[in-house]
Structure formats: structure tokens, C-alpha cells
Structure 1
Amino acid sequence: MQWRRHITGLAFSFVFVVSYFTNKFVLSVLKFTYPTLFQGWQTFIGAALLLLSGKFGWVEMSRITRSAALSWLPGSLLFVGNIYAGSRALSHIDIPFFFTLQNSSHVVSYIILKVVNRQEKTQWLKLISICFILLSAINLPLHDPQFDYSGYLWAVGHLLCVVTLNNIASTTCSAYCCWPLQPTQQIFVPLTGDLTGALEFPSLQSYTFHCGCCASALLGFLLMLATVKLKSGLSLEHFGVWIFLSKITAMSLSPFIFYMDMNASSLICVVTSHVGEALLVYSHRDSQLG
């Protein structure tokens, strides 16, 4: 029924917003900039919840064959890189700027699609939306009053992982298989220096820090379930609408939760980018009706 879809969409939006806010709080406000350990903790909690859900029959789980695991390995590694680079970027960049840069994945995907399928007819509305998104992403670093080179560099890495994931594997598949394969990254913790630095982290014994990490892991799991549920009941176009609405909600509320230094030029970049995304979502809907 239609009202059930709306409830699922609203639940997805709520978990989406709270999840980003929680991650931003731990990584930026508490300044726990050790995503390898942070992600490892999320992996542990997520795997435990996934196994528990399968035990009670809340989610369907089947035995993973060796060939299936090998075929999912590239997507899983990209998913790990996506989360790691995204966490690094989010710790340095405000949420509205992060989403503005993240929108650039639409531009890269559009270019790849045009190169692969040159016979496809150009939709002018989609082209205009892509130009809006591209111009916003190019101009944002020039007008960001708190420009952080490392944050934008990690954002580029996050963008490349997102685009590659969208083109070689489904995000849903990667989200499920990342938990059994993700812990292999912990072997490289000493090489990244995260373990040594984390042991000296001032708030490691903080009650707030522990609650934030637990909440982040739980919300990440719930977001995965909500995403799977929403995708199974809606078309990709309608799913894109809920993603867009969730991002707008997160950006609108973030100035009330976190300190942000934003000038008129950077605000124009953010607004232009998401106007472009709105046009892109509408063009997908229009092409389906056509």
C-alpha cells in the first residue's frame, strides 16, 4: 500500500539524517579522526546485529559460496574505501559541502554513460542539471571559508569509490558482503598509525564517545536495512527522490547542530548543486513517463 511506502521512506530519511549527524559528531566534534578503528567497531556491531537478525528470521541469509565471495570482493573493497575516504572527508568538511561534492558522482557517471553509449539521445534537462552540479563542485573549494586540502582530497577518493561501485556492483550487495570481508582491513591498522594515535585519544574513556560509537554502528546497520527495504518496494527513480529529500533535511538541520562557517558564495554553490540534483531526479522521472 502507498502509505507503507511513505512510512518506509520517512524511516529511511530519519535514520539517514541521524546517522550522518552521529558520524559527524564523533569524527568532527569529538575529533576522533581514526576511521580504521571507527569502521572496525562498526563492522563488529553490524556483523553481530546481522547474524542476530538472521537467527530470528528478520532478514533472509543464505550460505555464501566461495565463488560468490570472490565475485563480491572488488565491490567489498571499494565499499571499504568508500566508507574510509568518506569518513576522512566528513571529519574535515561540513555536511552541506560534503553532499555538494558527493553530487559530483552524477557528473562522472553521466560522462561514463555517454562514452559507453554514444547513441543515447541527449536530454537537455539532464545536461543542464549536470552542468549545475559540476560548476558547483568546481567553485566550492574556491569559496569555502574553511578550505581544508586533505578533506577535499579524501572527498575525491570517496567520489571515485562511489562512482566505481555504482558501475560494477550494486550497493546493496556490497553493503551485505562488506561485513564478512571488511575485518581484513584491521591487519593494516598498525601501518596506518591509527592504533597508536587512538590509544592516546583524550576522550577514549568518555561515556559520550562510547555512546556515539555504539549509536553510529547501530544506525549504520539500520540504514542498510532501510535502504534494502526501500529499494525493494520502489523504483530507482523514486528511491532517488527519498535520497534527495533526506540530504536536504540533513543540510537544513545541520547548522542548528554543528558550527558552520559559510559565506554567500559557498551557499550559492550548495544551493545550485542541489537544484541541479532536483532537476536530475525530475529528468529521470520524465524519461520514465516518456
Structure 2
Amino acid sequence: MSVRRGLAGLAFCACFLAAHLTNKYVLSVLKFTCPTLFQGWQTLVGGLLLHVSWRLGWVEINSSSRYNVLAWLPASVLFVGIIYAGSRALSRLAIPVFLTLHNAAEVIVCGHGMCFRKEKTPPAKICSALLLLAAVGSLPFNDAQFDPDGYFWAVIHLLCVGAYKILQKSPKPGALSDIDQQYLNYIFSVAFLASTAHPTGDLLCARDFPLLYFYGFHSSCCASGLLGFLLTLSALKLKSLAAPGQCAAWLLLAQVTTAGCSVLLFEGILTRAAVGCLLLGGLGEIVLVFAERRGTPR
């Protein structure tokens, strides 16, 4: 089991690294900033591949009742917000900055558990939330490439991530497996993004995109769709094999590796103060991993 868990963790890290670097390349280097089309394409590919995997018997998707589907609908709406806002933010922000802001969603989850569910939160989790909050609060003032629009969409992204995680922990979606939830997310996302491509102007924008017939653009978009699906599948596999603390440790490793590689591959300016903020956020994640491992039954 430990070997399978290790291979699943390595596969997740590889998919996480490749997916984020590919998305950053398309959004920032090629400057394809049409999120309804880009994310619609990724969810279409993911949905089709997941459906084929189901038909081939590689994954199990259960036929859910209409009540369970409707109960999960708010989470699917938040999923669209996550990928749309995340795409807008990633196109403007450096990957290390984006990941630090993304991780701040744990502050929302922790605060909701303490204030509304009256959960007994371990001191380590509270410390982690405070460190993440301090990192996110100070980062905009020390970012040499501060982009108001990028930070705005990053905040929308982290709010949606936090709300999505809260809904996942609620009793209602318990009848749906992780695969079921993702399958419904894909179906809703494709339908919603396809219907909004023209009203948002992305359809006309894509028609005038200068690299529309560039083979590098086509191959990158195909790779992004496939890698997004593999990332989802590897994350679900790791979650089924590893305890929450181990999953958190693998996620931290994937984020650190991705952030380090992105600094080498993409142009950007990181001042000492900004690096300090990023390290503060990383410390918050380390404390969170420690808290998750302490709370995992042995």
C-alpha cells in the first residue's frame, strides 16, 4: 500500500506541475485571455474523458437521484467560479503569488468551522490560518508587479475555493462520491461556460486571436485539457489511498516544486519582501500539514 501511495503522490505532483505550467504558458506567454473558452475546453475534455473512463469500467460513477444532483448544484456553481476566476488571476499573477493566495482559502474554512459549526479547532490550525492571513495581507504591499485586476480575481477565486470546501464537508453531498461530484461539475461547467462565451465577448476575442492557427497554441490547449483531467484523477486516487495529512504533505510538495520551476521558466520580479511573504505563507502550509497529520488516526 505504501508503494502505491508513493506512486500516486508522485503522479499527482507531476500532473500538478505540468498542468499549472501549461496553463500559465497559454494564459501569460501566448496571452490567450478568453477564460470561458479556455476553461470550457478543459472541462469539456475532462468530462468526455471521465465519461469514457466510466464506460470502460476504469472509474465508477453512480446514477444519482435528482435530489442529490440539485443539492450539489450550488457547489457546481462555485466550481465554475473557481476555474473562471483562477484563470483570470493566473494570467496576471506569478504562480508563487497565485498559489499563496489560493491557499488562503483555508482561512475561510477554519473561520467557518470555529464561528458557525462551533468546532474545536486545534491550535496548530489556528496558527496556520493566522500565518496564511498575514502572508496574503502583506503580499500586495510588497509585490513589485502588483496587478489590481489579478489580485481581485485571486480573491474571488479563494472565496469560491473556501465556500466549495465548506459545501464538500456539509452532510448533503454525502450521497455523492468524489467522482460523482466532479462529473456533475464538468457537465454544469461546460453548459454554463458555453452559454456565456458569446455574451462575455470571448467568442469574438478568440476569433481575432493572432496565434489562433499557431500549432504551439493548439498543442498547448490539448495538453492543458488532458493534464487537467489527469490532475483531477490523480488527486482523487491519492485521496483514496492516503490520509488527509499525507495528502496535504503531497500537495505542499507539488506547490513548492511548481513555484520553484515557474520562477526559472517565466519572467518575473520577486523582491526580498515578497519572498518573505511567500515563505510566510509556506510556513502556514507546513503548520497545516503538521496539524492534519496530528489529527489523522493512526
TM-score (norm 1): 0.95
Q: What's the counterpart of residue 206 of structure 1?
A: 214
- In structure 2, the partner of 1:194 is 202
Where do 5+ consecutive residues of structure 2 fail to align? 170-176
Which portions of structure 1, spanning 4 or more consecutive aligned residues, are displaced by more than 6 angstroms? Answer: none
**1:1-290 pair list within 5 angstroms:** 1-118=1-118, 120=120, 123-169=122-168, 172=178, 173-185=180-192, 186-288=194-296
CA distance in structure 2 between the aligned counterparts of 1:105 and 1:199, rounded to whole angstroms: 35
Shift of 1:127: 2.7
Q: Deviations over 1:238-278 (max 9, x none)?
A: 11111111101111111111112111000000011111110
TM-aligned CA deviation for residue 68 of structure 1 = 2.6
Amino acid at match of 2:191: T
Shift of the 66–125 alpha-carbon distance from structure 1 to 2, 3 Å rule, reads closer
CA separation of 1:201/1:231 partners in 2, compared to 1, >3 Å: closer, same or farther? Answer: same
Contact 1:203–1:209 under 8 Å retained in 2: yes
2:91 match: secondary structure? helix
SS of structure 2 residue aligned to 1:147: coil
Distance, in Å, in 2 between the alignment partners of 1:213 and 1:84 is 16
Shift, 1:182, TM fit: 1.6
Q: Deviations over 1:105-127 (max 9, x none)?
A: 1112111111124462x533333
CA deviations on 1:134-191 (whole Å, 9 max, x unpaired) are 1110010011111110110000110111011101126935422112222222112121
CA contact (8 A) 2:47 2:183 kept: no
Q: Is the 8 A contact 2:244 2:292 kept in 1?
A: no
Report how many residues are paired. Answer: 289
Tell me how large the CA RMSD over aligned residues is: 1.7
**Partner amino acid for 1:148?**
D
- 8 Å Cα contact 1:96-1:270 kept in structure 2: yes
Partner Cα separation in structure 1 for residue 43 and residue 6 of structure 2 = 29
